């Protein structure tokens, strides 16, 4: 649908690839698909999807797309040399699953996965190749139920996809497929990589479609007996019999992959777990009370154990610090008020009860602030005789309480109220008379 040119970014001096729509294909439908492809690629964040840097139109209205420049070759070019070893083939499919899992999470179905659209990019440091999925030109947005992501003209007269890699439901109706159509296509690609031939092949398009819909199950050499069940599950004509998610296909291929493929599968597994957490639980912060409210469905959110903080992803809006301070200040004020009230209550208790509590044992009062106050009531012992000129009143002993705070050896601090050691008043001072008067 377009031509790709190598170019240099003038401002950055970076080598880029520029895809331009051919003039012969620049009708309204083609232009719409071209621009939509750029928007689709801009949403995806995967190292195995080609990176789009810019989308726009030239002065004459021709749309263009600026992408990262890839060095390497397509998988179709590599397959001209013959079948690939099983570990290499499974690594390629696992990396393609990583890219398509990201697309499926955004509701995007590629609908045209084939060796020509699987690019084996060479690393700059020469450490092997990396899969890049390209050409999302006929991709479908699963939430676009109105027109399947294409124009009304395309709906009536086109079958979208490459017949060798199209699933049975895509042959029947391209507009209603979901991510399981991409699983079928990857199963066809994997079969072709390990056997060197396609599972369904015919000279004409109609004969080929008939084989896909009703043909016999493809055969496998004995050396592929272990891998065959995985491929055959991808090629189930009933979509419900295939892998439910493309992540499940990648997980099934882990025993056949190299260490690199296993690492990519582990990344995909973590990403799927994060996505499940975000879709199954919503965390909101209540700005008025400072409490985090978690809303979860009836099912268990943690469907698999989470190993470490790196495996946990939680999204929420934190409360500003100044929004939390008033609540903290109020709590401190309440605690201080309670403490002062307790001290005042103890003092009033001593003042009111001391004349009537002679000889009572000490009590212990536990305060809210964990301070233990030991009460030793003061004693007031009096022996008053009738006042006569010849009889002097008996000495009245009045001992005022004195508060001493001393830290105990263990536990909370204790406040002890002990009798005062001050000398008792003289009888004259007690009666309010000058010294020496009788």
The proportion of the chain whose per-residue pLDDT surpasses 90, expressed as a percent, equals 34
Distance between CA atoms of residues 46 and 67, nearest Å: 14
H helix runs in 235-369, sequence order: 246-252, 259-280, 321-353
Burial class (CB in 10 A: 0-12, 13-18, 19+), 280: middle
Residue of 355 and 310 predicted with greater confidence: 355
Q: Is the pLDDT of residue 174 over 50?
A: yes
Question: Which range among 71-80, 270-279, 327-336, 418-427 shows the weakest confidence by mean pLDDT?
Answer: 418-427
Q: Pull the structure tokens for residue 163.
A: 């017949």
Residue of 403 and 161 predicted with greater confidence: 161
pLDDT band at residue 344 using 50, 70 and 90 as cut-offs: confident
Arithmetic mean of pLDDT over the chain: 73
Tokens 């390497």, residue located: 72
What is the model's pLDDT at position 419?
52
Cα separation values, 204 from 208, 209, 407, Å: 6, 9, 98
| Element (DSSP H or E) covering residue 35 | helix 28-43
Residue of 264 and 392 predicted with greater confidence: 264
Q: Is the pLDDT of residue 257 over 50?
A: yes
Give the alpha-carbon dihedral of 75, 76, 80, 84, to 10 degrees: 40
Q: Which of 10, 33, 39, 7 is nearest to 21 (CA)?
A: 33
Overall average pLDDT of the 275-299 stretch: 48
Question: Which range among 201-210, 298-307, 362-371 shows the weakest confidence by mean pLDDT?
Answer: 298-307
Give the alpha-carbon dihedral of 207, 208, 210, 212, to 10 degrees: 170
User: Which fold is adopted by the domain 71-280?
Assistant: Transferase(Phosphotransferase); domain 1 (1.10.510)
Contacts of 59 (CB under 8 A, 6+ apart): none
Active-site residue, 116 included: no
Cα separation values, 278 from 37, 247, 314, 421, Å: 27, 17, 7, 72
Residue of 66 and 395 predicted with greater confidence: 66
What is the model's pLDDT at position 262?
94
What is the model's pLDDT at position 350?
80
**pLDDT tens digits for range 17-30:** 998 887 656 677 77
Residue of 419 and 324 predicted with greater confidence: 419
Question: Which range among 174-188, 207-221, 284-298, 304-318 shows the weakest confidence by mean pLDDT?
Answer: 304-318
Overall average pLDDT of the 206-225 stretch: 93
Strands 414-419 and 372-375, by their bridges, are parallel
Cα separation values, 367 from 312, 341, 410, Å: 43, 11, 16
Number of Cα atoms under 13 Å in the Cβ half of residue 198: 18
Strand partners, 397: 381
What is the model's pLDDT at position 184?
97
The answer to whether 257 and 90 are in contact (CB under 8 A) is yes
**pLDDT tens digits for range 289-336:** 444 444 444 333 333 333 333 333 333 334 443 444 455 556 677 777
The per-residue b/e assignment along 221-258, b for 16 or more CB within 10 angstroms, e otherwise, is eeebeebbebbbbbbbeebeebbebbbebbbbbeebbe
pLDDT band at residue 423 using 50, 70 and 90 as cut-offs: low
What is the model's pLDDT at position 346?
81
Backbone angles phi, psi at 140, to 5 degrees: -125, 135
Burial class (CB in 10 A: 0-12, 13-18, 19+), 419: middle
- Measured in whole angstroms, the distance separating CA 9 from the mean position of its chain's CA atoms is 36
**pLDDT tens digits for range 88-130:** 999 999 999 999 999 998 888 998 999 999 999 987 555 678 9
Q: Is the pLDDT of residue 373 over 90?
A: no
Q: Pull the structure tokens for residue 221.
A: 């050499």
Distance between CA atoms of residues 304 and 313, nearest Å: 14
Which listed residue (91, 112, 135, 182) is catalytic? Answer: 112
Question: Which range among 1-10, 66-75, 134-143 shows the weakest confidence by mean pLDDT?
Answer: 134-143
What is the model's pLDDT at position 96?
95
Q: Is the pLDDT of residue 186 over 60?
A: yes
Strand partners, 285: 292
| Element (DSSP H or E) covering residue 372 | strand 372-375
pLDDT band at residue 363 using 50, 70 and 90 as cut-offs: very low
What is the model's pLDDT at position 100?
93
Distance between CA atoms of residues 224 and 195, nearest Å: 9
What is the model's pLDDT at position 140?
78
Q: Which of 4, 235, 16, 250 is nearest to 137 (CA)?
A: 4
The answer to whether 98 and 48 are in contact (CB under 8 A) is yes
What is the model's pLDDT at position 406?
57
Largest distance between two CA atoms of the chain? 146
Distance between CA atoms of residues 402 and 168, nearest Å: 97
Strands 63-68 and 15-21, by their bridges, are antiparallel
The answer to whether 37 and 55 are in contact (CB under 8 A) is no
Overall average pLDDT of the 353-361 stretch: 51
What is the model's pLDDT at position 85?
95
Chain region(s) in the chain for CATH 1.10.510.10: 71-280
Q: Is the pLDDT of residue 141 over 90?
A: no
What is the model's pLDDT at position 94?
96
């Amino acid at each position: 649908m377009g031509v790709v040119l190598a170019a240099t970014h003038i401002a950055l001096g970076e080598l880029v690839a520029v895809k331009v729509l051919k003039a012969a294909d620049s009708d309204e439908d083609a232009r719409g698909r071209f621009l939509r492809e750029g928007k689709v690629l801009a949403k995806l964040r995967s190292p195995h999807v080609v990176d789009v840097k810019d989308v726009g139109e030239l002065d004459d209205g021709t749309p263009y797309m600026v992408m990262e420049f890839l060095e390497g070759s397509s998988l179709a070019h590599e397959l001209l040399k013959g079948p690939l070893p099983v570990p290499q083939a499974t690594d390629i499919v696992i990396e393609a699953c990583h890219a398509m899992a990201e697309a499926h999470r955004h509701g995007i179905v590629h609908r045209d996965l084939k060796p020509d659209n699987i690019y084996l990019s060479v690393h700059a440091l020469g450490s092997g190749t990396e899969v890049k999925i390209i050409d999302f030109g006929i991709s479908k947005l699963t939430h676009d139920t109105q027109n399947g992501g294409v124009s009304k003209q395309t709906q009536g007269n086109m079958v979208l996809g490459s017949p060798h890699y199209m699933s049975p439901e895509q042959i029947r109706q391209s507009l209603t497929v979901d991510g399981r159509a991409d699983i079928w296509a990857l199963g066809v690609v994997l079969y072709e990589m390990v056997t060197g031939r396609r599972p369904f092949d015919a000279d004409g398009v109609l004969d080929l479609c008939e084989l896909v819909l009703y043909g016999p199950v493809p055969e496998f050499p004995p050396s592929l007996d272990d891998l065959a069940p995985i491929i055959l599950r991808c090629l189930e004509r009933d979509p419900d019999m295939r892998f439910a998610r493309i992540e499940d296909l990648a997980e099934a291929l882990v025993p056949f992959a190299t260490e690199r493929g296993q690492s990519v599968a582990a990344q995909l597994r973590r990403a799927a777990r994060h996505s499940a957490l975000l879709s199954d639980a919503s965390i909101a912060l209540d700005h008025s009370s400072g409490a985090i409210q978690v809303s979860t469905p009836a099912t268990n959110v943690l469907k698999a154990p989470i190993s470490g903080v790196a495996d946990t992803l939680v999204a929420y809006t934190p409360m500003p610090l100044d929004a939390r301070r008033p609540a903290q200040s109020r709590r401190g004020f309440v605690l201080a008020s309670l403490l002062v009230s307790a001290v005042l209550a103890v003092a009033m208790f001593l003042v009111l009860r001391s004349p009537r509590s002679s000889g009572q044992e000490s009590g212990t009062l536990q305060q809210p602030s964990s301070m233990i106050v030991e009460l030793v009531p003061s004693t007031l012992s009096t022996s008053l005789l009738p006042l006569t000129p010849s009889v002097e009143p008996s000495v009245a002993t009045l001992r005022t309480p004195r508060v001493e705070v001393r830290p105990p050896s263990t536990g909370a601090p204790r406040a002890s109220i002990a009798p005062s050691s001050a000398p008792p008043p003289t009888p004259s001072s007690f009666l309010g008379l000058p010294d020496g008067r009788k």
